[in-house]
Structure 1
Amino acid sequence: MINYQFAKPHHPLLLPYVEQFVQLDGSGTFNKSMYSRMSTSMLLDFDQGTFYDGQPMKTRLLGVTEKTIHFSSISQHPVLIDKFVVMFTAYGLSVFTKVPMQELSNGVIEGTAIFGNSFQQLYEQLQPLPFAARVSQFERFLLQRFTAPHTSHQLIFNLADDIKNDASKNPFLQLKNLPLSERQLERNFKRYIGMSVGRFLRVSRFEKAQQLLAAQTGRRLTDIAHLAGYFDQAHFISDFKRLTGVSPKRFRICSPAPRMMSV
């Protein structure tokens, strides 16, 4: 059985940028498909028993994407599980690295490609530690690399939060309240979020729909579509099939009980 532990950041400076820390341990097989998402996650695979899209890696950054990523256990038999996940907010990683977020989207990248050899050292330091100590150590690592966002960057962060909170709104209508042109908005959104405003809006609606399908099994698809911010049920079904390969109805049947994490 695989056990999950969750922790919010302890340092208040990290709260807008780190969603949560997650520990997976126990024994079992780890087979999962992860669909489109609007935030990045850093996975440290201490058991090194999992393939990510067919390739093993010790550290993986899972960037914002519309692509489905497949996880599969190397062994077909239950093995010891030990994985540590750092889930960032949509723009969270951008304050800890100078790498543009669009360079990290639509792919799975080694942690050392972002933070250099220091991330390999962090991996080795975290491996023998219990969950609480891993959280504290990773927080120190992030705080050493934190750069406070400029006012113009914060405008992008606020817009991303607004879209996440209500994906039914047209974000371009808010341009009149921002000291940015549409072109500047798109360029900065890709730089700090990793995708265009339109794609982020689409993934935001999709994530909301996933949560509703798993949590509210008695709701009609029409209601789910409306609550997730889709214009109509046909648009909802079409978008869902494009991003997952299955209909919302089929996804609901196959979906496991909801968890507080996306990987």
Structure 2
Amino acid sequence: MNYKTYKPHKDLASIVKFYWTLEVPFDPNNQKQKIVPDGCIEMTFNFGDKIKRFTSETDFVLHPDAMLMGQRTKSFDILPVGDVDTFAICFYPVGFANFIKTALENLVDRETPISELFESEETDELERQMIQANDSQERIDIIESFLLKKLNEKNTISTIVESTVDTLLKTNGTTPIHAILKGDVSKRRQLERHFKKQIGISPKQLSKAIRLQATLSLLLNKKSETLTSIAYESDYFDQNHFIKDFKDFVGITPKEFLGNEQMALSALFYK
């Protein structure tokens, strides 16, 4: 697997987390790969063969070649049918709401063709340019030109959403929502409403996804020696609480995750 990341333009740095590319030659022995929620929204362009996303053990849908992958509330399995050649834009949790008026709760747990989110003429031209680009840097230039143009059509992001997401990112999802809102029940209802529209999932779901991302990094990079120490560093109540949350999101326990061939892609992303 050839996985690379790239930094965004300074005018997009608060919105775009990074760009990434992935190239994987086809291997008939490839197994399904489990993708874990990370609290981010991604726009992806597929220049290789089709990719299956499984809806059950045997049923699947094919990913659109140019799509937006909305927030995820659970893990899911994918399997390329041939060579992988992907370019993607990883947006911060509140990032993509800057570009569309569609409520992001409508995009949760699904892959949406970008032609459904923007004008078809401009998406056709964008796809054509991305396909014909000579390298990753040229693709970055193309997508940044598109995003910066869209950014000028400014959509207002709620202050309460921005401040909550900022706190969750800074504390790896460990700060309770009631503590961020200082116990104000009316603000909680307002926050839930704005989160559904501008993030797609609830504050609690995002908090869990961000915390999971931090614990995966600790787990994969062996920055903590035991599950107990990971639970402690990630501010879980105890090891059982950590294992339960992990299994709810990933589908298996932390111990089962390590060394599992179906987790190779997720492990690559988090290292």
TM-score range (shorter-chain normalised) is 0.7 to 0.9
Question: What's 2:78 paired with?
Answer: 71
Question: What's 1:6 paired with?
Answer: 5
| Rounded Cα–Cα distance in structure 2 between residues aligned with 1:214 and 1:143 | 35
- 1:21 pairs, out of 15, 19, 27, with 19
Give me the identity figure in percent.
24
SS at match of 2:86: strand
The offset of 1:201, in angstroms, is 1.4
Question: What's 1:141 paired with?
Answer: 146
Which residues in structure 2 correspond to 1:163-242 (within 5 Å)? 163-166=168-171, 167-176=173-182, 181-216=187-222, 219-242=225-248
The answer as to whether partners of 1:4 and 1:22 remain within 8 angstroms in 2 is yes
Aligned residues: 255
TM-score by length of 1: 0.87
The offset of 1:188, in angstroms, is 0.9
Per-residue deviation, residues 88-116 of structure 1 (Å, max 9, x unmatched): 11111000111111111122221212123
| Rounded Cα–Cα distance in structure 1 between residues aligned with 2:116 and 2:154 | 22
Q: Which amino acid aligns with 1:153?
A: S
SS at match of 2:258: helix
Across the aligned residues of Structure 1 and Structure 2, the Cα RMSD in angstroms comes to 2.4
Stretches of structure 2 lacking an aligned partner (at least 5 in a row): 55-59
The offset of 1:218, in angstroms, is 5.5
The offset of 1:22, in angstroms, is 1.3
Q: Establish whether residue 126 from structure 1 lines up as the match of residue 148 from structure 2.
A: no
Q: Which amino acid aligns with 1:20?
A: F
- 1:60 pairs, out of 67, 92, 98, with 67
- 2:112 pairs, out of 93, 109, 113, with 109
The answer as to whether partners of 1:8 and 1:19 remain within 8 angstroms in 2 is yes
| Rounded Cα–Cα distance in structure 1 between residues aligned with 2:217 and 2:200 | 22
Per-residue deviation, residues 62-119 of structure 1 (Å, max 9, x unmatched): 11112222221214xxx3x321111111111000111111111122221212123122
The answer as to whether partners of 1:64 and 1:106 remain within 8 angstroms in 2 is yes
The offset of 1:216, in angstroms, is 1.2
| Rounded Cα–Cα distance in structure 1 between residues aligned with 2:75 and 2:113 | 18
Q: Establish whether residue 91 from structure 1 lines up as the match of residue 94 from structure 2.
A: yes
Q: Which amino acid aligns with 2:73?
A: E
The answer as to whether partners of 1:156 and 1:188 remain within 8 angstroms in 2 is yes
Q: Which amino acid aligns with 1:210?
A: L
